[in-house]
Amino acid sequence: MGKTYGYQMIDLHPDHADDTGPSPGAGQHAIDCDALGLYTDSDEEAAVTPPKVKHPWASRKAARRALRRRRLAKANVKSMVKLGMLGMPAVLLMFFGILHLMETLLGRTSLLWNAETIVAASWQRATISGSEGRKLIGNAHPIPCHSHNDYLQRRPLLDALSWGFTGVEADVWLFDNNLYVGHHKAALSRTQTFRSTYIDPLIDILTADTPEGEAPRCTGDGIYKVAPAQTLTLLVDLKTDGDRTLQHVIQQTAKLREMGCLSYWNGNTVVPREITLVATGNTPYDAIIANETYRDIFYDAPLHALWETPRSPISNSSAVDAGNEKLDYGAAMATSQDGVNPSYLDFNASTSYYASTSFLSSVGFVWRGHLSPRQMEVIRGQIRGAKRRGLKARFWDVPTWPTSVRNHIWHVLVKEGADVLSVDDLAAAAMQDWTVRVHDTSFEWLAQKTPD
């Protein structure tokens, strides 16, 4: 078949099938093939090149490859699922193993939860009969614990009293002639004042049993019914200018003073009452001792500066204690008069109530989960210095984790004679057994059991 140019006329009449030329009437029965696109130049190429045809064996091969790919992908998914199911427990075990190792060797890590808090939640619901005041305290037994940064608790003051704490701490800031409670300036709120958070609730608790018609007054019944003689220490940490802030503290505690609720120094001895007010932070010591015949605000003495010579010398032979030489054991350690620094002899029961120190700063880091002999001598020297002056030894900044090390340090301090421990986890502290001690009143329990 040759190429066609111009018009190619095809006669469709059967009578002219054998004619070589167009018939006279061809115009009526002919079709213009070029115009209709029925015949083009590519027809020749199509006639020369045969169409490509897929063989059946090729299609089957491609299908088998696709099936193998699907099966392989499904097998990979199953392998990943199995690996995850088997590997996740192994990863968790490795994680908690490393956590336990750090807890044992360094004592500087904690679990993701605190089981004591979970147990204590149900215990608190079971023992607290009311929502506030005397009903909230109920029959709680006093424990030698101080609520550190108490204003951060869910219910400041009330939570500590419900657990039997014998001390609470409030950081106060003076702004606009009012005292606000908070750890930092950014955390202060106009609704959380020193008066509304501590003074007013204490007055309500102390006057709850006052007969109607009588003037509210403290009668010596105390905060805790089971221990009427137990005083509650209100530690006020002055964060702003000492003199001005102290004057506002005196003004806002005037009601407690008028009711006779504050412990005081009468010039000869300390008269304990329901509340003992102690000032720390920027408190000016001179302002506290200005009145020599009457004081109802006491100073928080530096416990680390009251260190006294231990019965045996501190050893430097242990490699664990090698780095402890940089610790500050207090100015008293460098003196010769029985280890007592004369400049600190003014701290006594007439001027101070607490003698406090940071555990980490003065005692040091606790390695291997227990206190070294050197650290024990430092603790004993500090407590000895506080006892000789009639002060309550208080340790704050005790490591909070791991809980096993924390609890161990708590009990060692109390057994050695520490009077108060500053804690943040109220429930965990309340769940400890504080009945057995070593020094001071520690043998009362033994005397009760020992026959005459």
Paired sense of beta strands 178-181 and 165-175, if any: antiparallel
Residue 195 falls inside a structural domain: yes
Q: Which residue has the higher pLDDT, 183 or 85?
A: 183
Whether 76 and 136 share a structural domain: no
Structural domain containing residue 101: 63-109
151 has pLDDT over 70? yes
- In 3-state terms the chain splits into helix, strand, coil percentages (rounded to 5) of 45, 15, 40
326, two tokens = 């940089």
Tell me what pLDDT residue 57 has. 67
Residues 133 and 258 in one domain: yes
pLDDT of residue 53: 54
pLDDT: which is higher, 28 or 332: 28
In a domain, 202, yes or no: yes
pLDDT of residue 113: 41
Boundary-marking domain end, from 74, 109, 144: 109
Instruction: Give yes or no: residues 105 and 123 share one domain.
Output: no
Q: Record the tokens describing residue 184, joined without a space.
A: 């930092």
In-domain check, residue 14? no
Q: What is the mean pLDDT of the chain?
A: 76
* CA–CA distance, 13 with 3 (Å, rounded to integer): 24
Could you tell me if 412 and 285 lie in one domain?
A: yes
Coil, helix or strand at residue 81 = helix
Give the per-residue pLDDT at 365.
86
Q: What is the pLDDT at residue 320?
A: 40
pLDDT band at 75 (very low <50, low <70, confident <90, very high): confident
Residue 242 pLDDT: 95
Whether the pLDDT of residue 4 is over 50: the answer is no
- Cα distances (angstroms) measured from residue 62 to each of 51, 67, 198: 21, 9, 83
The proportion of the chain whose per-residue pLDDT surpasses 70, expressed as a percent, equals: 67
Q: Confidence class of residue 165 from pLDDT cuts 50, 70 and 90? A: very high
Q: Which residue has the higher pLDDT, 425 or 110?
A: 425
- Answer with the residue of higher pLDDT: 36 or 60: 60
3-state SS assignment for residue 97: helix
Q: Which residue has the tokens 């009990």?
A: 411
393 neighbors 387 (Cβ within 8 angstroms): yes
Q: Is the predicted pLDDT of residue 246 greater than 50, yes or no?
A: yes
- CATH number, domain containing residue 285: 3.20.20.190
Task: Dig out the tokens for 17 from the structure.
Answer: 């099938």
Tokens representing residue 26 in the block: 């061809």
- 215-219, 257-261, 358-362, 385-389: least confidently modelled range: 215-219
Task: Say if residue 32's pLDDT is above 60.
Answer: no
Whether 223 and 156 share a structural domain? yes
What's the pLDDT score for residue 44?
53
Please, which residues bridge with residue 270 across strands? Answer: 265
* This prediction's pTM: 0.66
The strand pairing partners of 358, in sequence order, are 396
Mean pLDDT to the nearest integer, 309-317: 54
Element spanning 180, H or E: strand 178-181
36 assigned to some structural domain: no
273 conformational bin, left if phi > 0, alpha if psi -120 to 50, beta if neither: beta
Residue 103 binned pLDDT confidence (cut-offs 50, 70, 90): low
Residue 361 placed within a domain? yes
pLDDT of residue 127: 35
Quick one: 215 and 74 in the same domain?
Answer: no
Q: Are both 202 and 71 inside the same structural domain?
A: no
* Domains held by the chain: number: 2
Quick one: pLDDT band at residue 401, thresholds 50, 70, 90?
confident
The angle formed by the CA atoms of residues 346, 350 and 355, to the nearest 5 degrees, is 65
Report yes or no on 334 lying in a domain: no
CA distance linking residue 6 with residue 41, whole number of Å: 13
Highest mean pLDDT among 57-61, 205-209, 331-335: 205-209
User: Is 336 a domain residue?
Assistant: no
Instruction: To the nearest 10°, report the CA torsion of 243, 205, 171, 424.
Output: 150
In whole angstroms, give the CA distance from residue 202 to residue 133.
8
pLDDT in the model for residue 95: 80
For 230-247, the DSSP string reads: PPEEEEEEE-S-HHHHHH
d(CA 217, CA 419): 29
Dmax over CA atoms of the chain, in Å, equals: 156
Residues 69 and 214 in one domain: no
Tell me: do 69 and 130 sit in the same domain.
no
Give dist(CA 195, CA 66) in Å, integer: 79
Evaluated on CA atoms 451, 227, 352, 394, the torsion sign reads positive
Do 148 and 95 share a structural domain? no
Q: Is the predicted pLDDT of residue 155 greater than 80, yes or no?
A: yes
pLDDT for residue 268: 93
**Residues 121, 99: one domain?**
no
pLDDT value for 339:
44
Question: Between 368 and 133, where is the model more confident?
Answer: 368
Give the 3-state secondary structure of residue 400.
coil
Residue 447 pLDDT > 70 = no
pLDDT top residue among 234 and 125: 234
Instruction: Read off the pLDDT band of 396 (50, 70, 90).
Output: very high
Give whichever of 184-193, 329-338, 429-438 has the largest mean pLDDT: 184-193
Residue at 227 is within a domain: yes
Quote the distance between the C-alpha of residue 342 and its chain's center: 40
Domain match, 101 and 121 both: no
Q: How far is the C-alpha of 388 from the C-alpha of 367, rounded, in Å?
A: 30
The pLDDT score that the predictor gives to residue 78 is 83
